[in-house]
Amino acid sequence: MAQLESDIVHPSLGRAEVLVVEDEPFIAMDLVYAVEDANGMPVGPAATVRQALAMVKAQDIKAAILDVNLPDGDVGPVLEALIERSAAVVVHTGTALPPEVRVRFPQVPIYAKPTPAVVLTSRLASELKR
pLDDT tens track for 63-82 = 999 999 999 998 999 999 99
Run of H or E including 19: strand 17-21
Q: How far apart are CA 125 and CA 40, in angstroms?
A: 9
The answer to the question of residue 7 being in a domain is: no
Instruction: Decide if 106 contacts 87 (C-beta within 8 A).
Output: no
Residue 6 falls inside a structural domain = no
Flag whether pLDDT at 98 surpasses 60. yes
d(CA 96, CA 105): 13
Structural domains of the chain, count: 1
Q: How far apart are CA 11 and CA 41, in angstroms?
A: 13
CA angle 128-32-130, nearest 5°?
A: 5
Provide the pLDDT confidence category of residue 1 given band limits of 50, 70 and 90. very low
The pLDDT, as a whole number, for residue 9 is 60
User: What confidence category does residue 2 fall into, taking pLDDT thresholds of 50, 70 and 90?
Assistant: very low
CA separation for the pair 95, 105 (Å, rounded):
16
Q: Determine, yes or no, domain membership for 110.
A: yes
Question: pLDDT tens digit string along 14-59?
Answer: 999 999 999 999 999 999 999 999 999 999 999 999 999 999 999 9
8 pLDDT tier (thresholds 50, 70, 90): low
Q: Does a structural domain hold residue 100? A: yes
**8 assigned to some structural domain:** no
Give the CA distances from residue 94 to residues 112, 115, 116, in Å, rounded to whole numbers and listed in that order: 6, 10, 13
Domain annotation covers residue 69: yes
Residue 9 lies in a domain: no
Which residue range forms the structural domain that includes residue 40?
14-129
CATH code of residue 118: 3.40.50.2300
* Distances, alpha carbon 109 to alpha carbons 26, 57, 67, 92, 100, in Å: 22, 23, 12, 9, 16
